[in-house]
Structure 1
Amino acid sequence: MGSARFSEKVEVGNQNPKAGTEFNTGTPKAAPGDAEMTDDMEIIRSSGNIFRDLGHPYADREQLRALLAAKIIGVLDDRKLTVRAAHEVTGVAAADFSRIRKANLGRFTIDRLMTILSSLGQEVDILVHVHPRVTAIRSDLDP
């Protein structure tokens, strides 16, 4: 395919849809009730797990499912497989690959995602480290 071609030159600015090709090049103004932007910003260090940072009750499980799904997507992309082609290769429903691509992982267990990776010819190794959480869930459980 060739590059896109335009029959007229477009000027920089905010186009006014009611006026056709007229442009509003004035300074943008805040709408009533809009918050004013400031340079003040608080930086918070991530735990490395976005689900934990957002307070998800099953953060570790969701993180693992997201990582496995990302690996599946990576294999599909590397092999340039469509969801239908992936179905032909693995026998897994094309709709399931579509759900994985859209990060709609509610229907998938960790075991199922690992099985899909295996059916794509991938070997999955899981390394587990168990240690106390930094923040205690219940202080009355401490000895």
Structure 2
Amino acid sequence: MDKRMIAGVEVEVGSGNVFADLGLPDADKLLIKSELTIEITKAIRAHGLTQAEAARRMGLTQPKVSSLLRGEFSNFSERKLMDCLNRLGYDIEIRVKKASGAAGHLMLTHA
């Protein structure tokens, strides 16, 4: 990683994936799940939904919505998080393209 001096303090520039920077396994998947969770949170706020209303729309229990809004997404699959966004009125598009290197990576883009 790139190291820089800022105001006399040495800092390490992150890769853009905090989970990879921490050396966690499945860092790409964790990043996708965290970004999907952020989008769900934004959607709930944009619609002005209570947790109970959001739970009904997403097919979850209110306690699960509460956990999700606190950033606890480890018990949710990527597919379930995408389903929640669909139920909140969002389209999800998956695009596959050849990677520039030997191994590809997962990425979420926002429209």
TM-score with structure 1 setting the length: 0.60
Identity %: 27
Instruction: Map 1:43-122 to 2 at 5 A.
Output: 43-122=11-90
**Which structure has the higher relative contact order (CA within 8 Å, separation 6+)?**
2
Q: After superposition, give the CA deviation of every residue in 1:71-129 in whole Å (9 maximum; x if it has no partner).
A: 00000011111110112333322122111101111210000000111111110123455
Amino acid corresponding to residue 50 of structure 2 in structure 1: T
**Structure with the greater alpha carbon radius of gyration:** 1
Higher normalized helix content (fraction of residues): 2
Query: Which residue identity does 1:106 align to in structure 2?
Result: S
Higher strand share: 2
Gaps of 5+ in 1: 1-38, 134-143
Residue type of the alignment partner of 2:27: A
Task: Give the superposed CA RMSD.
Answer: 1.7
Q: Which runs of 5+ in 2 are unaligned?
A: 1-6, 104-111
The number of residues matched between the two structures is 95
What SS does structure 2 have at the residue aligned with 1:68?
Answer: helix
Whole-Å separation in 2 of the counterparts to 1:77 and 1:119: 14
**Runs of 4+ with >4 A deviation:** none
Which deviations, in whole Å up to 9, do the C-alpha atoms of 1:24-67 show, x marking residues without a partner? xxxxxxxxxxxxxxx74212111110000111111001000000
- After superposition, residues 24-39 of structure 1 pair within 5 angstroms as none
Under a length normalisation based on structure 2, what TM-score does the superposition of the two structures give? Answer: 0.76
Q: Which moves more between the two structures, 112-121 or 89-98?
A: 89-98
